[in-house]
Structure 1
Amino acid sequence: MIPEFGHFALIVALCLAVLLASVPLWGAWRRNTGAMALAPGLAMGLLVFSGISFACLAVAFLQDDFSVEVVANNSNSLLPAIYKFSAVWGNHEGSLLLWILILAVWTAAVATFSRQLPLLVLSRVLAVMGFVAVGFLSFSLLTSNPFARLIPGTPADGQDLNPLLQDPGLIIHPPLLYMGYVGFSVAFAFAIAALLGGRLDASWARWSRPWTNIAWAFLTLGIMLGSWWAYYELGWGGWWFWDPVENASFMPWLAGTALIHSLAVTEKRGLFKSWTVLLAIFAFSLSLLGTFLVRSGVLTSVHAFATDPARGLFILVFLAIVVGGSLTLYALRAPAVNSRVSFAWLSRETLLLVNNVVFLVATLTVLFGTLFPLLMDALGQGKYSVGPPYFNAVFVPLMALLVPFMGLGPVSRWKRDSAQRWKAELLLPAIAALACGLTLPLLHGEYNLWVALALVLAGWLLLGLGRDVWLRLRAAPTLARGLRRTPASYWGMVVAHLGFAACVVGVVATSQYSIERDLKMEAGQAETLAGYRFEFVELANFRGPNFRADEARFVVTRDGEEIARLAPQKRRYLASNQIMTEAAIDAGLFRDLFIAMGEPVGQGGAWAIRLHYKPMVRWMWLGAILMAVGGFITVVDKRYRRQRAASTASAGEVARGAQA
């Protein structure tokens, strides 16, 4: 009965979502306070029943209820309990239910932490999020029911979870990624609520900004974990290969990065109001597009869910309704927006505008490369492949163009600035950055122009930020007072930009200095790579909870000193009989040593072995973590805790604007 109860809870959640999408919106139209006041309660009800439904599916997995089709197809009695739980979202139906639960969490969070907003605004925001919930709940119930039964014909055991997904990465990566994906629905809801009200002032940007920063930070962590998971799990030692499904999460991140910078300008200066609304629509639309790409069956990828075209058609129709409806509303409302605020060409506003343009062009570049093969195939023009050469040729120069402006941004002033002041403050950092680029690559022994350029750009960003921090703190009477007076949003920006600089160095260093070698090795042999000696000591058998493995045991030494003992495996999973590679990695801040097993070669006990030397590869993920931490830091800014007073003061103005 548990699956039936979960199914019933999902139906109740849909009914509550329909009420949330309609009643508060009708109340806002009719100025019915009672109807608008129902929105927070409906949002909490949506969370409760979505949570009950998700819990019921989790219980079915943990209890090995193979009468439930999704459990039979994605679990097995031998599967460890932790992977039985994560298998809940290791499939299309369950991951969609996780999406719905996370959307309910965001909706309830807005209802709980935004009660200080004018009721008119809050009711519209929650109604828009309710509409999004209606779409995904309908999708789940009509095309992807997670509680479908196999009665009669219940199998004695399940088919097992895909071995690629039997990893801690599945436990963390999808929830974080969905927190980011779905979180952009909040920015979208605030933007649509502002359009419905007919007044695009700075208030909606101030209310939306902390939610957008949180969503962006979660998405950053999710993408980082996905990159790390692919690096160690797939056995090839790569961290990004421009897979279309990777791009599906990367495009909303690029648009979201432009959005958080544009929101800052709209909030502080009242500029770019129409543009910021359009970016909010664009970011969430790309999240929906990513959902379509992953779940429609149009892509072949290790990340994609194998689904039938009917599901893709449902999402495509929903995407058309959301995008078409929001853009129509934007076309009707945005032309009435005007701004009397001006700024000079040399100003922070101009630099942030350049930031927006670069990120938007980068997003469109990735979007074109991702959709071009699909469009050509749909038009009957043959099969095309757009791979790393295209993306590296067009995307990398854009990011290189962005960094100089990132170094100028923090030290620039709003409204008007001067080149003389920039020169006075940034000449020394520029000289120091050039010196780093000219000298530091020599420490590796071989001068590399790309590494030198990366060090110049990262050094420029790092040293410019450092000088700006020093100037801010020096202006205060004491260091303690300077730290207290500096807003959290500034420190968040500093940490995030430092993370970006670390990513730049990590990406370029590992791309240029990595060494890999494919070898035929057997026990007793040794090979040297990048000064490290890899000795194949023995081949052993290993028994896991639901797999058996051949394990190659290596001792890694350098200058006669033991560095690490590594044991890569070639696993055969008992339930599915699938073969998987499990790499062994000795991780370090400045280098990784990576060993992966291939296939046995001949009859003499030799194996195909891949050795990798990966310098500074961890800097990419540490940089991404810093960027996410920076996003979270901005949310604790005192300005947002004082939002109640500002919201109360502007409530009458917003209400009058809504009546227009």
Structure 2
Amino acid sequence: MLAEIGQLSLAIACMLSLLQTVYPLYGIYARNQSAIESAKILTNLQFVFVTVSLLILSYLFIANDFTVVYVATNSNSALPWYYRLSAVWGAHEGSLLLWAFLLSLWSSAVAVMSKRLPVESIARVLAILGLLSLGFYLFVLLTSNPFLRTLPYFPVDGRDLNPLLQDVGLILHPPMLYMGYVGFSVAFAFAIAALMEGRLDSAWAKWSRPWTMAAWVFLTLGIALGSWWAYYELGWGGWWFWDPVENASFMPWIAGTALIHSLAVSEKRGVFKSWTVLLAISAFSLSLLGTFLVRSGILVSVHAFASDPSRGLFILAFLVLVIGGSLLLYAVQASKVKSRGRYDLLSRESMLLINNILLIAALIVVLLGTLLPLVHKEIGLGSISIGEPFFNKMFSILIVPFALFIGVGPLVRWKRQKINELLKPLSLSLVISTAIAVLFIFLYSSKFTWMALLGVFLGFWILVTTCYELYLRATFRFTLLKGLSKLGYSHWAMSIGHAGFAVMIIGVTMTQNFSIERDVKLAVGESIAFEHYDFHFDALENADGPNFTATAGVFTVLKDDKFVATMKAEKRIYTVQRMPMTEPAIDAGVTRDLYIAMGEVLPDGAWAVRIYYKPFIRWIWFGPLMMGFAGMLMMMDRRYRVKNTTENDSAEVQGVK
């Protein structure tokens, strides 16, 4: 009975989303105030019913109700309760319900937290979000219903959750990633509503900016969490493997990064409006494209959901409708999108424009590298492979000017800047960055490569110029400490965000150039010397879990005859699916990771063991954490918390009717 109630709640939410789409727009057309104001009520009601549906599905998993097909396929009575809960979004049907729930959550948040916005404007935004929700509800109900029954026959126990997904990182990674994907729908809705209204001004950018930043923060942290999981669970490089499904999340992140910078310029200077609208459309469209790639069955990936082509066709049709409709509206209203500000070639606007161009170039590289093999195969030209070397080479070319301009940009004034005023800070920063980079390489590595020096230099270039800009800003009118305390949240957000990107560049550079990997054969009692460390294979232990059997290899690690760590690496067999899994042992540090993974037992009783030395790999995740924190700081800025978003928001409001 509960499954039927869950399905009914989902159907009611679908009908409410239809009303949310149509009725407020009718109210705007007919000047019916009650119809306009109904947008918020319908949005919140829709959220209530889809929440009930998701809670019921979660209970069905916790209660081991194997009369439901989705539960029987993705759970098992021996599965720990927290993995049963994460199994709710562990496969296609549940992940789509989670997507619909999060879209409704974002919509409800907009309805509740936008009380000071013009009523008609927010009604348009909520109507557009309702249309997007309607598409996903129809997708779930017509092609991906998670409440279908197995009756009259049902299994005694379930098939179990994919062992790859039985991990703490995978409990949090999908919801966080989806929060980012879905969050860009708010930026999309604000942009489309502004186009419908024919009014793109600084107030519109101010309304949209904190919502866009929130989505970007979730996506940044979600990608970082996925990268961390791939590192310790799959043994990948730790930063990027250029898997097509990973690229599907990276593309909206690149577009979102360009969007938050473009919104800042549109808000402060009233320029880049066309850029901002197109980037808002692109960020959400790329999120939908990622959904299509993962669920259409055209990709083979450890991340992809096995799915039938009819589902892919539904998403493709929805994708074409969203992208085509929004671009058509933009084409009709483009003449009304006018930027009023002017700026010189040497100005902060120009720096941000150049960085946005480089970001879009990177986006095109990832898009072509991901889609070209698929298109090439689908049109009958055979299979081609575009792999890691292509992406690494292209990004190495693009990252150099991008990082250089990130360092220069904050030192440049809005509107115009005299070049002679930049000579001293840039020259000093260049000397300091080069000296630190050379010293850094020689301190932490026994070998030298020019590519490593370049990458470390770029990271420290951003850090040094960021610190220099903070010093100049703080000491302009006050002493250093007092001036730093006077800086606003937005300024600190910019500085910490750029510093986080610099930390990530250093981590990627050191890991890519100086990682060491070795496959060895070890029996109990043997040891091996590896990168100044001695690894002693002490013993084998049983490490059985609730739904798996495991053998753990116990290793003692010494350096210069001093104890470093005891590490236990496991080889597991999951009892239901009989799937072998490796659980590595990792001794983490600020400047290096030691990583041991057990392979297969060999005929003579020895084990195949893989050992990694990963320098500065943690910096790859420290960087995104700093960027995420920076985004949260920006949202705390008082400009987005005080009563200043009315139709006459500021002197910069530009009506374009």
TM-score range, shorter chain: over 0.9
Deviation at 1:450, TM superposition (A): 1.7
Residue matched to 2:47: 47
Amino acid across the alignment from 2:248: A
In the alignment, does 2:655 pair up with 1:649? Answer: no
Residue identity matched to 2:274: S
Contact 1:236 / 1:596 at 8 angstroms: preserved in 2?
no
Matched with 1:488 is 489
Which amino acid in 1 is paired with 2:648? A
Matches within 5 A, 1:68-467: 68-236=68-236, 238-443=238-443, 444-467=445-468
Question: What is the identity, as a one-letter code, of the residue corresponding to 1:420?
Answer: N
Q: Which of 440-449 and 54-63 deviates more?
A: 440-449
Q: Deviations over 1:273-310 (max 9, x none)?
A: 11110010011000000000011111011101000000
In 2: Cα distance, 1:628 partner to 1:153 partner:
48
Partner Cα separation in structure 1 for residue 135 and residue 482 of structure 2: 50
Partner deviation per Cα, 1:240-291 (whole Å, 9 max, x = no partner): 2100000000000000000000001101010011111001001100000000
Which whole-Å CA distance do the structure 2 matches of 1:507 and 1:30 have between them?
Answer: 57
- Kindly tell me: are residues 653 and 563 of structure 1, through their superposed partners in 2, closer, same or farther at Cα, counting changes over 3 Å? closer
Residue of structure 1 equivalent to 2:15: 15
1:574 paired with 2:606, answer no
Q: What is the letter of the counterpart of residue 560 of structure 2?
A: D
Hey, what's the Cα distance between the residues in 2 that align with 1:650 and 1:570? 61
Shift of 1:349: 0.3
Q: Is the 8 A contact 2:40 2:111 kept in 1?
A: yes
Report how far residue 2 of structure 1 moved: 1.0
CA contact (8 A) 1:571 1:582 kept: yes
Alignment deviations for residues 486-507 of structure 1 (CA, whole Å, 9 cap, x no partner)? 2211110111100000000000
- Mapped pair 1:595 → 2:573: no
Pairwise CA distance, 1:234: 1.3
Q: Is it true that 1:514 corresponds to 2:531 in the alignment?
A: no
What is the alpha-carbon distance in structure 2 between the residues aligned to residue 510 and residue 231 of structure 1?
12
Distance across 2 between alignment mates of 1:387 and 1:24: 48
SS in 2 for 1:366: helix
CA distance in 2, matches of 1:655, 1:122: 18
1:454 partner letter? G
In the other structure, the counterpart of 1:539 is 540
| Partner of residue 608, structure 1 | 608
Counterpart contact for 2:500–2:623, Cα < 8 Å: yes
The 3-state SS of whatever aligns with 2:123 is helix
Which SS does the other structure have where 1:152 is aligned? coil
* Residues 552 and 569 in structure 2, CA contact (< 8 A), matched pair in contact too: yes
C-alpha separation between the residues in 1 aligned to 2:574 and 2:302? Answer: 18
Cα shift readout 1:78-105 (whole Å, capped 9, x = no counterpart): 0001100011000100111111111111
Shift, 1:645, TM fit: 2.7
Q: Does 1:474 align with 2:475?
A: yes
Partners of 1:168 and 1:346 lie apart in 2 by 48
* Partner Cα distance (1:646, 1:49) in 2: 31
> Residue 477 of structure 1: CA displacement?
3.2
* TM-score, normalised with respect to structure 2: 0.98
Letter in 2 for 1:353: L
Displacement after TM superposition at 1:473 (Å): 1.5
**Deviation sequence 1:135-183 (CA, Å, 0-9, x none):** 0010000000010000012000000000000000111101110110000
Aligned-pair CA distance for 1:31:
2.4
Secondary structure at 1:290's aligned position in 2?
Answer: helix
Number of the residue aligned with 1:497: 498
Pair 1:549 & 2:531 matched:
no
Tell me which moved more, 113-122 or 27-36. 27-36
Q: Distance in 1 between matches of 2:192 and 2:31?
A: 18
Partner SS, residue 242 of structure 1:
coil
Q: Is the Cα contact below 8 Å between 1:200 and 1:274 reproduced in 2?
A: no
Q: Is the 8 A contact 1:216 1:257 kept in 2?
A: yes
Q: Is the 8 A contact 2:203 2:647 kept in 1?
A: no
Q: Tell me the distance in 1 between the aligned counterparts of 2:29 and 2:585.
A: 61
Aligned length in residues? 656
Tell me the amino acid that sits aligned with residue 471 of structure 1. L
Unpaired segments ≥5 residues, structure 1: none
Aligned-partner Cα distance in 2 for 1:329–1:311: 27
Distance 1:92 1:651, change over 3 A: farther
- Please tell me whether the aligned partners of residues 169 and 225 of structure 1 are also in contact (alpha carbons under 8 angstroms): yes
What's the CA shift for 1:346? 0.2
The Cα offsets for residues 532-585 of structure 1, whole Å up to 9 and x where unpaired, read as: 111111122221111001211111111111111111111001111111111110
Note the C-alpha offset of 1:606.
0.9
Superposition deviation, residue 655 in structure 1: 12
Alignment TM-score, normalising by the size of structure 1: 0.97
Using the TM superposition, name which of 20-29 and 90-99 deviates more: 20-29
Q: Distance in 1 between matches of 2:214 and 2:644?
A: 22
- What's the offset of the Cα at 1:648? 4.6
* Offset of residue 481 of structure 1: 4.8
SS of the residue aligned with 2:78? Answer: coil
User: Alignment partner of 1:647: what SS?
Assistant: coil
Q: Secondary structure at the match of 1:544?
A: coil
Q: Does the 8 A contact of 2:201 with 2:655 survive in 1?
A: no
Query: Once the two structures are superposed, what CA deviation does each residue of 1:6-44 show, in whole Å capped at 9, x if it has no partner?
Result: 111100110111111111112122222111101111111
How far apart are residue 654 of structure 1 and its match?
8.9
Query: What is the percent sequence identity of the aligned residues?
Result: 52
> 1:231 touches 1:237 (CA, 8 Å); kept in 2?
yes
- Root-mean-square deviation (CA, aligned residues, Å) is 1.6
Task: Tell me the distance in 1 between the aligned counterparts of 2:606 and 2:153.
Answer: 45
